């Protein structure tokens, strides 16, 4: 057994409350902490922005990718697209599809989380039929057989929990029905649409295991269930059904927006909400160190209030090892309280283990992103 040393101290001129009522001579706060936002932490007050670097050499730097430029060609299988960011516990890919899949697929390596960035489709799986649309998260348990019939061209973000599963976060003091009520989780139905696809014709299933694909052929459609009972199934939630935690007097950390949890990473969702209104409260994300997690943000929709020149389908990647936070224009706008409401929608992936960048991801990188924190002279 072990525990963190705990001895709250203060030194110099400080605020009593984190993220609010800073000392007059220091407008910049930096949080350094362990275990994300759950371990011991210290809040520094600085005279200069913690991101005010003038130069950066070496591979550890904030990065910006444009995943709109990945895999522009449509493909019939999610197993034929490259990993973009990955480690032993998680794989992130993007997938474009505009035609009905002619094979079923099955992931024997772990659960899949599909985030529908664009488009809509009918999903058929072991558990039945489910319609999906833009903004949907779809959790597909490991080794589930499934396929899509798009109604319009689709752009999908795929996150694999390698050798793991997606679960819901503990919601603690706010209770089980906060953020989204589990009653909002939709599940597949054995309905008329599902029964209509029963078939005695030959079907194949592409099974992925250890990154390799095997094909199993059946003389019938194996999606032939007439019923099921239990508590394991495909489930869907749309970001529009998420009701975020809010505080008008305190800027909540990203962990307050957790949607799904695996053993070595979390997936969070940022959705529109009012901006903090208390005069002394910080109104943009606080500067903080990446000490234990790599942080990835996939930008889905809206105006991304803490970043400049970000478009839908772009991805920022801030590896562990340095301080990051809002861009200068966003920080200044927060001080002036110019915006009263955020309209951004973004998917965040935070990983306890370092992520590797594939050549496919690096081919879309904007190398000038590291300089975007510089203040124009």
- Positions marked catalytic: 251
Are the C-beta atoms of 351 and 90 separated by less than 8 Å? yes
- CA distances from residue 90 to 62, 68, 126, 229, 295 in whole angstroms, order as listed: 20, 21, 24, 29, 13
324 is in an annotated binding site: yes
136 is in an annotated binding site: no
Q: What are phi and psi of 342, to 5 degrees?
A: -95, 145
Return d(Cα 352, Cα 113) in angstroms, integer: 18
DSSP 349: E
- Return the ∠ at Cα 33 (arms to 32 and 39), rounded to 5°: 165
Nearest partner of 280 among 12, 18, 5, 13, judged by Cα? 18
Are the C-beta atoms of 299 and 311 separated by less than 8 Å? yes
Are the C-beta atoms of 191 and 146 separated by less than 8 Å? no
288 is in an annotated binding site: yes
Sequence length of the chain is 377
Return d(Cα 214, Cα 179) in angstroms, integer: 40
Largest CA distance in the chain: 77
Dihedral angle sign, alpha carbons of residues 189, 191, 193, 198 = positive
Binding positions for Fe cation are 288, 294, 324
Binding-site annotation: residue ranges: 288, 294, 324
Annotated binding site for homogentisate: 324
């Amino acid at each position: 057994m072990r525990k963190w040393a705990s001895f709250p101290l203060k030194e110099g001129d400080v605020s009593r409350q984190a993220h609010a009522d800073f000392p007059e001579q220091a407008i910049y706060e930096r949080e350094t902490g362990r275990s994300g936002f759950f371990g011991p932490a210290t809040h520094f007050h600085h005279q200069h922005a913690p991101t005010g670097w003038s130069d950066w050499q070496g591979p550890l730097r904030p990065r910006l990718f444009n995943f709109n430029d990945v895999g522009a060609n449509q493909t019939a299988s999610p197993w034929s697209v490259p990993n973009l960011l990955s480690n032993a516990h998680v794989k992130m890919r993007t997938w474009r599809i505009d035609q009905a899949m002619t094979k079923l697929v099955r992931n024997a390596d772990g659960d899949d989380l599909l985030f529908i960035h664009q488009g809509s489709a009918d999903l058929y799986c072991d558990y039945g039929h489910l319609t999906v649309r833009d903004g949907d998260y779809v959790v597909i348990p490991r080794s589930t057989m499934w396929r899509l019939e798009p109604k319009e061209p689709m752009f999908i973000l795929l996150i694999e929990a390698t050798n793991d599963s997606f679960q819901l976060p503990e919601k603690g003091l706010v209770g089980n029905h906060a953020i989204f009520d589990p009653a909002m989780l939709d599940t597949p139905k054995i309905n008329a649409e599902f029964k209509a696809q029963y078939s005695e014709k030959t079907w194949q299933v592409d099974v992925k295991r250890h990154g390799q694909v095997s094909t199993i052929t059946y003389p019938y459609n194996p999606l032939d269930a007439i019923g099921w009972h239990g508590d394991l199934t495909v489930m869907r939630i749309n970001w529009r059904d998420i009701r975020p935690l809010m505080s008008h007097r305190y800027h909540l950390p990203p962990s307050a927006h957790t949607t799904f949890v695996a053993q070595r990473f979390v997936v969070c969702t940022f959705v529109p909400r009012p901006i903090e209104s208390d005069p002394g409260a910080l109104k943009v994300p606080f500067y903080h160190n990446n000490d234990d997690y790599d942080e990835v943000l996939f930008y889905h929709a809206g105006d991304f209030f803490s970043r400049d020149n970000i478009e839908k389908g772009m991805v920022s990647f801030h590896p562990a090892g340095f301080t990051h936070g809002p861009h200068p224009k966003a920080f200044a706008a927060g001080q002036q309280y110019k915006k009263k409401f955020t309209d951004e929608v973004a998917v965040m992936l935070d990983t306890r283990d370092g992520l590797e960048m594939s050549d496919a991801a690096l081919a879309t990188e904007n190398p000038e992103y590291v300089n975007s924190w510089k203040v124009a002279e």
